[in-house]
Amino acid sequence: MIQYKIPEEFLTVITKMNPEISNVEIVDVDTFKIINPLTFNLDERFQVLVNLHVKREYKLQGTRKTYSEILNNLFKYTYSDHNFISFVVYQISYPPEKTNMEKFNELFSIS
């Protein structure tokens, strides 16, 4: 099975425009075909399901639907000739909160 990743250029655009996002991970890619009404050819479309990794210190700007729209708009601006690709936010992940032991070790440990 082919492994996919978000292009570095696009990931940079996402994280600069939305500083609460630390990473975007592809969960799955759905492929489907539609009939082009002008040419009657079958055109392939791709829907990329992603998991957003969000920094805990930032507040979310909306729901998964909101972030799906944000990603789609940023993608259109970044890759205007790739209008056959869309994004859906499958999940928003927060890093786990640090335990008291981890906080203590950050303050007092030598190594």
**Residue range 68-104, pLDDT digits in tens:** 999 999 999 999 999 999 999 999 998 888 889 988 9
* Burial environment of residue 97 by CB neighbours within 10 A (0 to 12, 13 to 18, 19 or more): exposed
Cα-only R_g, the chain: 18
Cα 54 to Cα 48: distance, rounded to the nearest angstrom: 18
What CATH number is associated with residue 73?
3.30.70
- Tell me if 1 is assigned to some domain: no
Tell me the whole-structure pTM to 2 decimals: 0.82
- Tell me if 96 is assigned to some domain: yes
- Tell me if 33 is assigned to some domain: yes
